Amino acid sequence: MAAVKHDNKYYATCMMGGVIACGTTHTSLVPLDIAKISMQSDPKRYRNLSQSMRTIHAAEGITGLTKGWLPTMIGYSLQGCFKFGLNEVFKDYYASLLGEENAHKYRGIMWTAAAASAEFCADIALCPLEMIKVKVQISEPGTFPTGFMAAASAMMKDKTTRFPFGSLVPLWSRQVPYTMAKFVGFEFVAEQLYSKVFTKPRDQYTSTQQLGVTFLSGYLAGIFCAIVSQPADNLVSQMGKVENAGKGFGQMAREVGISNLFLSGLGTRIVMIGTLTGLQFYIYDQFRVYAGLGTSGGGNTKK
């Protein structure tokens, strides 16, 4: 396959791929997300995934497992746009600063810097929608509106929530390490697979085979991501509780306890994030293939 020119059309295509990849996957996993947040906010009541989902369904019906789907879809579509699109922009920018030889030699550092830079920007777009989503999902039934516009209006009126950017710092703390691990892990695993398992030139493999490598690389990267970002994810969930209004992150962390901060909901988060990350890269690369850009991943690095 001929080299693809990295122009504005290329970056716009990557942004659209990110919108589709992140918007669809996060929205489809809302029930898991609600169970995970419930386990983080009240581990005594919500003990594991299946029990949590049964408890929520028994109390609220199917709507209890779909709360917050609209801010999830909008927020993570925006995040995916900037996460995937700007990652490509920053990779090219940092590569141009380093030069071709150093860009390959120090590609791990370059991947890390690009991912962190992209996610820093993406979280600014995500934060207001994430705050609405968490508040809707964590509130006891009947205590907070579940409709998107009503919930947003209530958040704006309640100064204790620090809406719209009150959770930006813990969001950065969760998402920036997560995305660094996500993209670097994906690039590294893909590079190893293409250099040690699938050793022929990439264009000699079918799109299906390449997409299989993409999904496996993304899934393995996602497991590591879930572990790295777990404590900060827990704090973001804790911010939505009424009794935590106005509390600092350090105070919430002390009250939750180190063990719960790292372990509460971790198993569910690993399943959720592993699947989510694998599917995101798969959908993103499917869109790239459809648009004529080919699959992504470390196999594109110079050997």
- Count of CB atoms situated within 10 Å of the CB of 160: 11
Across 129-136, average pLDDT: 94
What is the residue-averaged pLDDT of the chain?
88
The structural domains of the chain, with segments of one domain joined by +, span 8-300
Rounded distance, CA 194 to CA 213, Å? 8
Tens of pLDDT along 172-231?
988 898 899 999 999 999 999 999 999 898 889 999 999 999 999 999 998 888 887 777
Q: What pTM value is reported for the model?
A: 0.83
Q: 74 or 267: whose pLDDT is higher? A: 74
Across 263-279, average pLDDT: 82
Q: 260 or 86: whose pLDDT is higher? A: 86
Q: DSSP secondary structure string, 218-266? A: HHHHHHHHHHHHHHHHHHHHHHTSGGGTT--HHHHHHHH-HHHHHHTTH
Q: Which fold has domain 8-300?
A: Mitochondrial carrier fold (1.50.40)
What local confidence, expressed as pLDDT, does residue 288 receive?
A: 97
Tens of pLDDT along 225-267?
888 777 777 776 676 666 766 666 677 767 767 777 767 778 8
